[in-house]
Every structure is written in C-alpha cells, then in structure tokens.
C-alpha cells in the first residue's frame, strides 16, 4: 500500500497568512505527486492543516477522479468540543471520503499519536506543514524520516527546517 500513498501532518492552529501559504502550495504539490504515481491520500481529520488538505484533495478529485481519499480518524467522537462551522466542514469531508478508518473507538490519551503512526506506517510520502520543533507534527515527521518516508514540508522556507526530499 505504501509506495502509492501520501499522508499529511501539520499544525492545527494556523493564522490567515499560513492558511494562504498552504493553499498556494498544496494543490500544486498534490498534482505533482499524482503525476509521479501517488493515487491514495490519507488525512487525519483534525482542524487546521488536516482540514485544508482534505478539502484540497476533494478539489483535486475533479481533475483526477481516480484518486482516493482515506480519512483516518483517531476516534469516533473527535469533534466533541468543536464549533458548529468546523463540524459542518468535518461532516462534508467525512461524507465525501472514499473510505473512513477509525484507529480507536473512543478518545484516550494517546489516540492522536496512534492515528499519526498509522498515517505514516501506511504511506510512502508525507506532506507536512512543520514550523515547530515540538508537538505531534514534529514527532510524526521525525517518525516518518526515521522509517524512510519521503517528506515534503510546505513550510520548508522557514529557518532551521528540513527542505523537501521529493
């Protein structure tokens, strides 16, 4: 499964400038890797970067209808503290996903970590937005590098961060 699969990881809290930067880079990057043979995309269903990526994949499906979007969720009650607008976007993404996988039934301390490892373990490429050298995104990207997955960091022009390997 892994060679033709791409996962995503990134920060949940983004400002408007970061959202614009991601949007400007993401669709072109997704199109490029589709042309290189990636046909399945795994997103984690979180707020921020994950939501932007899922919406970009759904948009790319108009041009590339054969690509697949798999929503990999940490638990069934992930949205329990979310606002109404975010839940509406989430439900749209959930409805349009080609497949939904829950890595745990209920929330527990560590379920996000379990979901992130699943994303990486089942991918050959990881597109990330990593600016901070701590937290879940940092851990996930380090794990991906450790097991030899290609990394594309959309924030790679930030100081002291790795450049895209693709």
Of 20-34, 48-62, 86-100, 104-118, which range is least confident?
Answer: 20-34
Q: Report the C-alpha gap between 92 and 71 in whole angstroms.
A: 12
Domain residues of the chain, as ranges?
Answer: 5-153
Q: Report the C-alpha gap between 75 and 104 in whole angstroms.
A: 5
Q: pLDDT category, 12, cuts 50, 70, 90? A: confident
Q: pLDDT category, 19, cuts 50, 70, 90? A: confident
Say yes or no to pLDDT of 64 above 90: yes
Give the angle 152-129-58 at the CA atoms, nearest 5°.
Answer: 85
Q: Over pLDDT 70: what percentage of the chain?
A: 93
SS3 for 4-41 is CEEEEEECCCCCHHHHHHHHHHHHHHHHHHHHCCCCEE
DSSP 8-state class, residue 158: S
Say what the pTM is.
0.90
Q: Which CATH architecture has domain 5-153?
A: 3-Layer(aba) Sandwich (3.40)
């Amino acid at each position: 499964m892994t060679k033709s699969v791409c996962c995503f990881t990134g920060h949940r809290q983004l400002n408007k400038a970061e959202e614009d930067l991601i949007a400007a880079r993401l669709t072109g990057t997704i199109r490029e890797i589709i042309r290189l043979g990636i046909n399945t995309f795994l997103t984690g269903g979180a707020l921020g970067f994950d939501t932007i990526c899922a919406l970009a994949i759904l948009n790319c499906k108009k041009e590339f209808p054969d690509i697949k979007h798999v929503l990999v969720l940490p638990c069934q009650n992930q949205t329990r503290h979310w606002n109404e607008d975010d839940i509406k976007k989430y439900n749209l993404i959930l409805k349009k996903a080609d497949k939904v996988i829950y890595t745990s039934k209920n929330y527990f301390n560590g379920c996000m970590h379990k979901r992130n490892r699943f994303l990486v373990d089942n991918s050959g490429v990881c597109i990330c937005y990593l600016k901070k050298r701590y937290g879940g995104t940092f851990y996930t990207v380090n794990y991906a590098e450790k097991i030899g997955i290609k990394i594309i960091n959309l924030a790679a022009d930030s100081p002291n961060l790795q450049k895209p390997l693709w």
